[in-house]
Structure 1
């Protein structure tokens, strides 16, 4: 197995493991990330599955990157697309075919699920960053804009989160949906980056 195949295999594996973490966070229902909150709001309105919307939204970032870079790295775009498809499919399987058979009403259990899901997602994304083979489309899109237009990566990334946050709140108000930005969102903001950084620094392949 050469490095390319090894890197691709590990990356797709951790993409799918990330999907497990995201699914646990969603099922906990105590708050999700800004982008996931927007996708959940749209899912409630449109009845599209959340994994399907996760695929769609990430594909938009891939298309944005393609337009800015003028299709300079077709292999990367194809591999990102495959990884995102795996991510969304696993989310749909867990959310719509596994969790409906599980009834969780206790808040402490939900909070545990949320923390476990955040831990799994953080470790998986940290491993993906360490592999440096397939970055997530949203981060890759922000990096492309940052390098091309000399704008801070952090500012671009936060801007996307703010837009998604506002969209989620507006949709919740307009269509009388549950609010997906909750206490778990704050817990995730505190936990997530340290977990990613720790994994990135410690994991070895």
Structure 2
């Protein structure tokens, strides 16, 4: 049963990666965390999926340091899922979607909303299955358990930090600003979709 759930979880990772790729391709801004990833990708020329994997692996290392008692198998599964996630994002963005350009603004908005829905639904189902933990959320849970601050304090702090760094990179390196209307749409939609999908 666990093998089956692992495969299903990876399928939902694929769905989430597909959704994230659509939001990036729509070019109206991205979620707070992805705005950081996209900005870093632009200044380093490293693909967005690879950057996403690297940043998540950094948080995974923090999780290991905060909770070394967790089973090594759990961390290994998280590592495999993160690499898979980044690779799939790269495949969508740089191969399957490479030649697609959304010139119509209304179509870009619709594409972003659809992408946010798929990303949120995939994430919610992964959380429901419980096989994989997301390093950032798990890191915030561990910090919350060890301090007097609640989970949402640390999670929002990371989001705000990502947005600020993304804006700084954009302004300092004269890049497009990736914190835009899509960021607001994501803020309004994503958590609700994840919660709905998790409870289905």
What TM-score bracket applies, with the shorter chain setting the length? Answer: over 0.9
Q: Which residue does the alignment assign to 1:85?
A: 83
Quick one: which of 172, 180, 183 aligns to 1:182?
180
What is the CA–CA distance in structure 1 between the aligned matches of 2:87 and 2:3, rounded to whole Å? Answer: 22
Listed as ranges, the matches of 1:105-124 within 5 Å are 105-124=103-122
For residue 129 of structure 1, report the CA deviation from its aligned partner: 1.3
What is the CA–CA distance in structure 2 between the aligned matches of 1:194 and 1:33, rounded to whole Å? Answer: 14
Q: Does 1:169 align with 2:167?
A: yes
What is the CA–CA distance in structure 2 between the aligned matches of 1:97 and 1:153, rounded to whole Å? Answer: 37
How many residue pairs get matched? 200
What is the CA–CA distance in structure 2 between the aligned matches of 1:165 and 1:108, rounded to whole Å? Answer: 24
Q: Does 1:127 align with 2:125?
A: yes
Q: Which residue does the alignment assign to 2:65?
A: 67
Instruction: After superposition, give the CA deviation of every residue in 1:120-166 in whole Å (9 maximum; x if it has no partner).
Output: 01111111111122121111111111112242000000011111111
Q: Which residue does the alignment assign to 1:16?
A: 14
TM-score (norm 2): 0.96
Which runs of no fewer than 5 residues in structure 1 stay unpaired? none
2:199 match: secondary structure? helix
Which runs of no fewer than 5 residues in structure 2 stay unpaired? none
TM-score (norm 1): 0.94
Instruction: After superposition, give the CA deviation of every residue in 1:163-185 in whole Å (9 maximum; x if it has no partner).
Output: 11110011111000100010111
Q: Which residue does the alignment assign to 1:56?
A: 54
Structure 1: which 4+ aligned runs deviate by more than 4 Å? Answer: none
